[in-house]
Amino acid sequence: MESNESKLIHKPEELRVRDNYEKYYWRIMCGRILKDWRLYLMLLPLLLVFLLWRYLPLYELVAAFKTNDPTQRVLNRDFVGFTYFYSLMFGADASFFWLAFRNTFLLAFYGLLFGFPVPIVLALLFSEINSNGYRSLLQIATYLPRFVSTVVVTTIIHMLLSRPSPFSEPGVLAQFLGMIRVIPEEHVRQGIMYLPQYFRSVFQISGIWEAAGFGSIVYFAAIIGISPASYEAASIDGATKIDKIRHVVLPSILSTITIMLIMNVGQLLTVGFERVLLLMNNETYDTAEVVSTYVFSRAGIQAGGQGANQALASAADMINAVASMLLVIGANMISKRASNTSLY
Amino acid sequence: MKRLEMTEVIFKVLSYTLLTIFAIFCLYPFVYAISAALSGIDAYYSGRVVLLPVDFQTHAFRDILFTKRFWISYANTFFLTFYGTIWALATSILGAYALSKKRLVFRSGFNFFLVFTLWFAAGLVPQFLNYRATQNIFDSIGITDDKWLIVIAMGMNAFNVVLLRNAFEGVPKEIEEAAIVDGATELQVLTKVYIPMSKAAIATVALFFGISRWNGFFWARTMTRNRNEWPLQVFIREQLDNIMAQELPATTPYAPNSLVYAMIVCAIIPIIVIYPYLSKHFAKGVNVGGVRE
């Protein structure tokens, strides 16, 4: 009874506030913020880290529209508009830039074409293994390369595929490939890592070796979530294994596949920069140079600024970043339309 | 009925064979690394090491024991992984907890602020200039050790925050309310309710942070001015560059490659040790922390 009365007493005030929501908006918001000040305090470090080291660098992008004058602060440099963008796309630097862009696109495209389906297939195969012990064993073995650093992986690749020297035979894998005639003997002699035509294969195969096993986790989790009843129903209807995969398994994991696809598309144009940098050398430049390595060499980060053009490098980077952002948004939009699944 | 069983059986056999082959393919390089590290110089140079060590020797490992720079870089990597993971995980958990509250004003704005960094990154040059500027500031306040720059400024990932936020949103509200009725503060709700109930997701995210810290190469290579602060990855790469440029046969009882292989084995050991403890969380953590539709 009493509680009812107290509600009645408060009601007019509540109504008054609700009717004048616009007028009291900031007062209400400030009240809510002040009441939850602990939450904002908790959020603060995270926001600061992102602000300082993710958003503040965006300001340096202005440098791409200004003269390349490292002695001046970015704001004081002369504005040159799209000069560098023009130079990259149609002018003096176009041949280098488009080579890098083409390589980036091809590496990413092949990665999607060959690398993306492998984890799905692996997950399908894993779900077929009945013995839990053996399956864990296989999973542990196939996940392992993912936990080893890029440097270790590329170092092993370099040594397994090394070229012969006057005192040593080629690396063991190079020898094997030469023996089974996958790669001509003379190419083994020249060194697989030093021939541009093999760079893409080395990159993709080592990429699958490194990431496919661990990548299958997500799909495997989705597959074991399918209820056994669906399989039984399909069996009664006379479905073969292929039918079951097509009509039971694939539809159930489609949303997972879509999300992973969008995420992959988002990272398309940033193709494992470290891995490319660690695998490439001057002789494989023609197929290995990607936009990020081009930016890296043009910016002279390592060379100490000799002959560097940071404005040009920034511009190249920005083209890449904008292109990849458009890809994510596009992929997200298409998937929203087609299957009602979207990441953001 | 017979035909149905046939396709099942064929698929099963195919699964066992293909996966076994793939697992061997995944493991072989590591087995080879151990064997190569333990093989003699002539056996390695003549290409006789294929699976097991030939001309067994342990000098490569023994020499590593006395390579001071190797152990310095090893300690640096431990430092970066330990503090880096703690820092990233702590800020992410606190932030994700706040973001998981529907009542938070400007919640969607904050979310967008984080997720936008997944769409659009400033790129190499701006990032580099930013880190340089940070380095200068750190220098001026007396932190000249570049390891702290790497720990604090690098390696944050919005995707991991989203994973944590999703996991926290999955915690039943009733339990939180019960805790508040019992007089729990905001921080106690987080540490006593949310963290214990999202263990799998937190373990997964910690693993993601830990791995990226342990493996970090490029920025450590670029931003570290003093060689004594190099992490292991940078050191191993330098060793590889050295042996690739080598023009004379070595005079040691082992090939220089064996030394690098031995370093690689040492670098992998910590991962192998913690691996079994982590592997049981994987499937669960990814499942719980999976991206929402």
Could you tell me which chain B residue has the CA closest to the CA of A165?
A: B247
Whether residues A136 and B46 touch (CB distance < 8 A) is answered with no
B167 touches chain A (CB under 8 A): no
- The first and second tokens of residue A156, run together, are 């092993």
Which of A120, A168, A220, A290 to probe the B interface (max B CBs under 10 A)? A168
Helices A291-299, A310-339: axis angle to 10 degrees equals 160
Q: What contacts 24+ positions apart, CB below 8 Å, involve A282-289?
A: A283/A194, A283/A195, A283/A196, A284/A193, A284/A194, A284/A195, A284/A196, A284/A199, A285/A196, A286/A99, A286/A196, A287/A103, A287/A196, A287/A197, A287/A199, A287/A200, A288/A103, A288/A196, A288/A199, A288/A203, A289/A96, A289/A99, A289/A100, A289/A103
Tell me how far apart the alpha carbons of residues A292 and A86 are, in angstroms, rounded to a whole number. 19
Could you tell me which chain B residue has the CA closest to the CA of A145?
A: B26
Mean pLDDT on B173-181: 88
Whether residues B267 and A221 touch (CB distance < 8 A) is answered with no
Could you tell me which chain A residue has the CA closest to the CA of B45?
A: A168
- Residue B152 with chain A: CB contacts under 8 Å: 49
B293 touches chain A (CB under 8 A): yes
Kindly report, residue by residue over A82-99, the tens digit of the pLDDT.
888 888 888 888 888 999
Could you tell me which chain A residue has the CA closest to the CA of B185?
A: A38
Given a cut of 70, whether residue A11 has pLDDT beyond it is: no
pLDDT tier at B289 (50, 70, 90 boundaries)? very low
- Closest-CA distance, B249 to chain A, in angstroms, reads 6
Q: How would DSSP label each residue in A283-308?
A: GGHHHH--HHHHHHHHHTTTTTSTT-
Please, is B169 exposed, middle or buried when counting C-beta atoms within 10 Å of its C-beta (0-12, 13-18, 19+)?
Answer: middle
Closest CA to B160 of B199, B205, B116, B204: B205
Give the CA distances from residue A37 to residues A141, B186, B188, in Å, rounded to whole numbers and listed in that order.
48, 10, 15
Buried b (16+ CB within 10 A) or exposed e, A204-224: bebbbbbbbbbbbbbbbbbbe
Choose among B99, B113, B218: nearest Cβ to A274.
B218
Choose among A137, A158, A302: nearest Cβ to B240.
A158
Kindly report, residue by residue over A264-273, the tens digit of the pLDDT.
876 777 667 8
Kindly report, residue by residue over A220-247, the tens digit of the pLDDT.
888 888 888 888 888 888 778 888 888 8
**Among A293-307, A322-336, B29-43, which stretch is predicted with the lowest mean pLDDT?**
A293-307
Kindly report, residue by residue over A96-123, the tens digit of the pLDDT.
899 998 998 899 889 889 989 999 999 9
Kindly report, residue by residue over B192-234, the tens digit of the pLDDT.
889 998 888 898 888 889 888 988 899 999 899 888 999 999 9
Which of B2, B125, B274 to probe the A interface (max A CBs under 10 A)? B125
Whether residues A138 and B130 touch (CB distance < 8 A) is answered with no
Which of A25, A27, A54, A327 to probe the B interface (max B CBs under 10 A)? A54
Please, is B177 exposed, middle or buried when counting C-beta atoms within 10 Å of its C-beta (0-12, 13-18, 19+)?
Answer: exposed
Tell me how far apart the alpha carbons of residues A193 and A222 are, in angstroms, rounded to a whole number. 38
- Closest-CA distance, B240 to chain A, in angstroms, reads 7
- Residue B267 with chain A: CB contacts under 8 Å: 149, 152
Region of A191 on the Ramachandran plot (φ > 0 left; ψ -120 to 50 alpha; else beta): left
Note which residues in 95-124 of chain B have CB less than 8 A from chain A. Answer: 95-99, 101, 103-105, 110, 113-115, 117-124
| Cβ atoms of residues A126 and A139 within 8 Å | yes
Closest CA to B160 of B125, B228, B211, B194: B211
B50 touches chain A (CB under 8 A): yes
pLDDT tier at A10 (50, 70, 90 boundaries)? low
Whether residues A266 and B153 touch (CB distance < 8 A) is answered with no
Which of B124, B136, B260 to probe the A interface (max A CBs under 10 A)? B124
> What are A168's strand-pairing partners?
A165
Helix/strand/coil for A66: strand
Kindly report, residue by residue over A185-234, the tens digit of the pLDDT.
889 888 889 999 999 999 999 999 988 988 888 888 888 888 888 888 88
Mean pLDDT on A142-167: 89
Q: Nearest 5°: phi and psi at B67?
A: -90, 105
Could you tell me which chain B residue has the CA closest to the CA of A146?
A: B211
Domain boundaries, chain B: 68-233+270-289
- List of residues 6+ apart from A42 with CB closer than 8 A: B94, B95, B97, B98, B186, B190
**Among A6-15, A227-236, A243-252, which stretch is predicted with the lowest mean pLDDT?**
A6-15
Question: Would you state the pLDDT for residue B284?
Answer: 61
> Is the CATH number 1.10.3720.10 carried by domain B68-233+270-289?
yes
Question: Would you state the pLDDT for residue B1?
Answer: 47
Give the CA distances from residue B69 to residues A265, B229, B235, B268, in Å, rounded to whole numbers and listed in that order.
41, 10, 8, 18
Region of A306 on the Ramachandran plot (φ > 0 left; ψ -120 to 50 alpha; else beta): beta
Choose among A156, A256, A321: nearest Cβ to B123.
A321
Question: Would you state the pLDDT for residue B29?
Answer: 93
Question: Would you state the pLDDT for residue A1?
Answer: 41
- List of residues 6+ apart from B199 with CB closer than 8 A: none
Question: Would you state the pLDDT for residue A263?
Answer: 75
pLDDT tier at B37 (50, 70, 90 boundaries)? very high
Choose among A172, A220, A277: nearest Cβ to B49.
A172
Could you tell me which chain A residue has the CA closest to the CA of B122?
A: A58
Whether residues A43 and B95 touch (CB distance < 8 A) is answered with yes
Choose among A60, A141, A301: nearest Cβ to B27.
A141
- Residue B293 with chain A: CB contacts under 8 Å: 255, 259, 341-342
Could you tell me which chain B residue has the CA closest to the CA of A327?
A: B119
- Residue B3 with chain A: CB contacts under 8 Å: 240
Whether residues B122 and A57 touch (CB distance < 8 A) is answered with yes
Tell me how far apart the alpha carbons of residues B144 and B22 are, in angstroms, rounded to a whole number. 46
B230 touches chain A (CB under 8 A): no
SS3 percent helix, strand, coil of chain A, rounded to 5, is 80, 0, 20
Tell me how far apart the alpha carbons of residues B256 and A236 are, in angstroms, rounded to a whole number. 63
Given a cut of 50, whether residue B25 has pLDDT beyond it is: yes
Given a cut of 60, whether residue A338 has pLDDT beyond it is: yes
Given a cut of 70, whether residue A167 has pLDDT beyond it is: yes
Question: Would you state the pLDDT for residue B138?
Answer: 93
pLDDT tier at B286 (50, 70, 90 boundaries)? low
Tell me how far apart the alpha carbons of residues A277 and B15 are, in angstroms, rounded to a whole number. 35
Domains of chain A (ranges; CATH) run 2-62 (no CATH), 83-339 (1.10.3720.10)
Question: Would you state the pLDDT for residue B16?
Answer: 93
- Residue B234 with chain A: CB contacts under 8 Å: 151
Question: Would you state the pLDDT for residue A161?
Answer: 92
DSSP state of B145: -
**Which of A305-309, B33-37, B239-243 has the highest mean predicted lDDT (pLDDT)?**
B33-37
The ipTM, to two decimals, is 0.87
Question: Would you state the pLDDT for residue A306?
Answer: 58
Whether residues B113 and A225 touch (CB distance < 8 A) is answered with no
Question: Would you state the pLDDT for residue A139?
Answer: 87
